[in-house]
Amino acid sequence: MADLGSGLVKRILVIGAAGMIGRKLVARLAAQGGAELIQHDVVPFEGASAVSDLSTPGEAEKLIAARPELIFHLAAVVSGEAEADFEKGYRVNLDGTRQLFEAIRLAGEGYRPKVVFTSSIAVFGAPFPDAIGDEFLNAPLTSYGTQKAIGELLLSDYSRRGFFDGIGIRLPTICVRPGKPNKAASGFFSGILREPLAGQEAVLPVPETVRHWFASPRAAIGFLLHAAALDTRRLGDRRNLSMPGLSATVGEQIEALRGVAGEKAARLIRREPDPAIMRIVEGWPRNFDARRALELGFRADASFDDIIRFHLEDEAQKKSASPLPARA
């Protein structure tokens, strides 16, 4: 067990530290203090301890040279890119993960770190039950989901064999994702909140009846820290967990936006139906029964109002340009 407060964790390795979740996690760990942070990503970034491609032979060995007691493995080629570039997706998401796991196994000398792996609800593929439970088949419909499902299987087997102490957490779609709009098919779920909150227009490509599964960045960081501190003996041999989230329709998202930021903000959403995006979104999970994670103490956001307020609070610190005040 990696008790972050106990002083037993002297070094923490964050792989994928330059990503949105990585940066927020590092900020939180740095604020807590008490452990040396080793920050890694494939792109150069402020605070980097190492910049390299995890899938290049030998790189994983270097990253664990200081024998970090706790490792967060967040690095991945995202869904759209893994679909567009088959070889890159398998190289980074499968081979990179396997090389990290192999480096730990081969380190020997009793080295047995805690490994927190971010998986995804993309390990599931339609058709779904009304709420996806903890025993539902992993039948991904993307190469990204396939690579994450394989990472989960490896994590379980390496943990069962005693090579490390792993836990995989399947994150809901993160909302509100800060920063610029991106071209991910899921981008509009954040865009229809983030842009109007900043006084900008946003495009909604699907009907308001579309339902999806969400967590705020703040909840996601909470999942990671809770996973790191969790006694994995409570998991048994099933080391991968669907995280609790908030199941909401686009209409409910907009209602929350209206409640927090007023009708003027809601009017900035422009409906532009896009059949291509609708087809992709139809294959995505809508709702989960995350009973196991809840029993293990993982906590979802309480409401979409909270998700929007957390966004305003967390992002307002960084840029004062936000035209709307945060309500606590």
Could you give the residue numbers annotated as active site?
144
Token digits of residue 317: 């610190």
Question: In terms of CB distance, is 149 or 230 closer to a second copy?
Answer: 149
Note whether 233 binds a second copy by CB under 8 A. Answer: no
Going from the C-alpha of 321 to that of each of 9, 181, 195, 203, 231, the distances in angstroms are 38, 17, 12, 21, 42
One of 131, 139, 203, 266 touching a second copy (CB under 8 A): 139
Note whether 143 binds a second copy by CB under 8 A. Answer: yes
How far the first Cα of the chain sits from its last, in Å, is: 34
Bridge partners, 270 (sequence order): 203
3-state DSSP of 142-199:
CHHHHHHHHHHHHHHHHHHCCCCEEEEEEECEECCCCCCCCCCCCHHHHHHHHHHHCC
Distance between CA atoms of residues 132 and 122, nearest Å: 12
Q: Are 215 and 242 in contact (CB under 8 A)?
A: no
Distance between CA atoms of residues 197 and 72, nearest Å: 32
One of 99, 138, 173, 190 touching a second copy (CB under 8 A): 138
One of 237, 276, 318, 320 touching a second copy (CB under 8 A): 237
One of 61, 81, 85, 134 touching a second copy (CB under 8 A): 134
Distance between CA atoms of residues 208 and 91, nearest Å: 37
For the bound state, the minimum distance from the C-beta of residue 123 to a second copy, rounded and expressed in Å, comes to: 9
Distance between CA atoms of residues 117 and 111, nearest Å: 18
Nearest to 27 by CA among 318, 321, 322: 318
Size of the residue set binding a second copy (CB under 8 A)? 23
Who contacts 185 (Cβ-Cβ below 8 Å, separation ≥6)?
79, 80, 277, 280, 281
One of 4, 20, 141, 278 touching a second copy (CB under 8 A): 141
For the bound state, the minimum distance from the C-beta of residue 143 to a second copy, rounded and expressed in Å, comes to: 6
Question: In terms of CB distance, is 118 or 143 closer to a second copy?
Answer: 143
Distance between CA atoms of residues 172 and 121, nearest Å: 6
Note whether 136 binds a second copy by CB under 8 A. Answer: yes
For the bound state, the minimum distance from the C-beta of residue 99 to a second copy, rounded and expressed in Å, comes to: 13
Binding to a second copy in span 82-111, by CB under 8 A: 86
Note whether 125 binds a second copy by CB under 8 A. Answer: yes
Q: Is 107 helix (H, G, I), strand (E, B) or coil?
A: helix
Note whether 146 binds a second copy by CB under 8 A. Answer: yes
Note whether 161 binds a second copy by CB under 8 A. Answer: yes
For the bound state, the minimum distance from the C-beta of residue 270 to a second copy, rounded and expressed in Å, comes to: 34
For the bound state, the minimum distance from the C-beta of residue 50 to a second copy, rounded and expressed in Å, comes to: 27
Stretch that binds a second copy, among 148-156, 171-179, 261-269, 316-324 (CB under 8 A): 148-156
For the bound state, the minimum distance from the C-beta of residue 126 to a second copy, rounded and expressed in Å, comes to: 9
- Residue count (the chain): 328
One of 79, 120, 156, 253 touching a second copy (CB under 8 A): 156
Nearest to 119 by CA among 166, 85, 56, 83: 166
Question: In terms of CB distance, is 120 or 138 closer to a second copy?
Answer: 138
Question: In terms of CB distance, is 44 or 127 closer to a second copy?
Answer: 127
For the bound state, the minimum distance from the C-beta of residue 80 to a second copy, rounded and expressed in Å, comes to: 15
Contact footprint for a second copy (CB under 8 A): 86, 125, 129, 134-141, 143, 146, 149-150, 153-154, 156-157, 160-161, 237-238
